[in-house]
Amino acid sequence: MQIITLTPEKFQEYASCHRYRNFYQTVAYGNIMKNNGYDIHYLGFTDDNNHLIGASLIIFKEIFMSNKMAYAPHGMLIDYTDSNRLQELMTKLKKLLAKQGFMYLKIDPYIPLYIRSKKGVILNTNQEANIILENLKASGFQYHGSNLNFENAKPRFEAIITLNKDIKQIFNSFDKRTRYKIKKAMRNGVEIYVGKEDDLKSFYEFVKQKHTRNLSYYQDFYKNFKKDITLYFAKLNTETFVISSKRMYEKEMEHNEELNKKIQNKEITGKKKKTFLNQKMESDKLLNTYKNNLVWATTLLKDHPNGIIIGTALCLSYDDASYMIIEGFNPTYKELNPNYLIKWKMIEDASSKKYKYLNLNGVSGAFDSKKQYRGLNEMKLGYNAVITEFIGEFDYIINGLTYNLYKNFNKDKAGEAKNEKKKESKN
């Protein structure tokens, strides 16, 4: 086996046909990372007959004492079931990277372990996964384990909506609560439109708190995947919001008055009267809510007569599927559910293009409803999504001494940061 340098064109040709192909292992993604602080290699792996049997985009940079870390995002594109070849590859790759001052190589292969229901029940198992896990360990990789949340570079659990039914059936398969929130968003005047490259600054204002990436990253992402990018925006039609709020208030006012008449009717007694009293109390609460909404909507119409953008999402089409890269919304307008309506629009668009599925990105693998990411899971899985659990993340240590120093250094920094937070909370 030989390790060679590939041209971007040769790498793309090979990567686009591999069984583990993904948009992170593309020249487009390599260009993005090159413009955002990383160097890149396109490596090819050949057999004794000089036939290409594997390849990988490797991104890297110096991180500690002039030592470099390397990362094969959702790669490498090789046959992980062939233990002998995998061990041979890593032995040669270690020698090559050691000469170039690398400390370790990180990989997180895009290999599913299980398909799970939204409640976490295993529906399907990748029969090769355990073999691959053992082969990686035997080749010297250190496994980060079956972590449940977002400890890795990329999520280990992703929510997938299959699109193998007509659009009405897909909608009816959603949880009742999800259908209600989509309809409520539309009723209140939330409208979805597709933005352009010039709208990225507006998009970034909604997502900048969710990740350390800067605006230039998303600008590069858009430029490199341009023909496959859809930039969604949720805009509140403030005039429609006023009309809807007024209608809801007036309708509840009529209901409230009817209940009041029944309560005052002396012929109605006992359990019936108690039922109407309880209904009146609930109606009073709703009436107050609708009144506040009407005041709010009227103010918004006055301040934003042309509407106001309240949410956004970036979506990428790749290999007969659609992927939500990131989303964000203004929490002030959370009750108007812009994020729910955007996802519904994504589903409609992906279905119309005959894609196989829409990937809503990461969820938590902790399926207990009391866990930290309960709200995230409920929202994404409410679209009748299933969960793909991936094999996980691995480190291949090239320079053990500096790797351990680096790990200990990071632990000390994390400890200091934790202590500072404790001090701040006491003050």
pLDDT tens digits, one per residue of 358-385: 999 999 999 876 778 999 999 999 999 9
DSSP letters, 317-338, are EETTEEEEEEEEE-GGGGGG-H
CB 189 within 8 A of CB 237: yes
- Return all residues near 394 (Cβ < 8 A) that are at least 6 apart: 106, 107, 108, 136, 141, 142, 143, 144
State the Cα–Cα distance between residues 304 and 1, nearest whole angstrom.
Answer: 65
With residue 71 as reference, give the H or E element that holds it: strand 67-72
Residue 411: pLDDT band (50, 70, 90) is: confident
Closest by CA to 224, choosing from 415, 35, 427, 19, is 35
- Return all residues near 296 (Cβ < 8 A) that are at least 6 apart: 245
pLDDT tens digits, one per residue of 187-238: 999 999 999 999 999 999 999 988 889 999 999 999 999 999 999 999 999 9
Does residue 66 have a pLDDT over 90?
A: no
Closest by CA to 187, choosing from 399, 57, 337, 401, is 337
Tokens at 235, concatenated = 């805009």
**What is the value of pTM for the model shown?**
0.90
| CATH architecture assignment, domain 165-237+307-355 | 3-Layer(aba) Sandwich (3.40)
Residues 40-69 have a mean pLDDT of 94
CB 281 within 8 A of CB 288: no
Other CB atoms within a 10 A radius of the CB of residue 30 amount to: 23
Q: Residue 387 forms beta bridges with which residues? A: 116, 159
pLDDT tens digits, one per residue of 147-187: 999 999 999 999 999 999 999 999 999 999 999 999 999 99
Give the count of alpha carbons within 13 A of 108, CB side only: 20
* Alpha-carbon dihedral sign for residues 240, 246, 248, 250: negative
67 φ, ψ (degrees, to nearest 5): -95, 150
Residue identified by tokens 């009407």 is 294
State the Cα–Cα distance between residues 325 and 230, nearest whole angstrom.
Answer: 10
State the Cα–Cα distance between residues 45 and 317, nearest whole angstrom.
Answer: 28
Mean pLDDT of the chain: 93
Fold topology of 2-110+393-426: Aminopeptidase (3.40.630)
Q: Return the pLDDT at 424.
A: 42
- Return all residues near 14 (Cβ < 8 A) that are at least 6 apart: 6, 44, 52, 55, 77
Asked, as a colleague might, if the bond just before 248 is cis with ω within 30 of 0, I would say no
State the Cα–Cα distance between residues 20 and 160, nearest whole angstrom.
Answer: 17
pLDDT tens digits, one per residue of 302-344: 999 999 999 999 999 999 999 999 999 999 999 999 999 999 9
- Return all residues near 334 (Cβ < 8 A) that are at least 6 apart: none
E-only strand ranges, 85-138: 102-107, 112-116, 122-125
CA end-to-end span of the chain: 61
At what angle are helices 129-138 and 83-99 packed, to 10 degrees? 40
- Return all residues near 423 (Cβ < 8 A) that are at least 6 apart: none
CB 90 within 8 A of CB 80: no
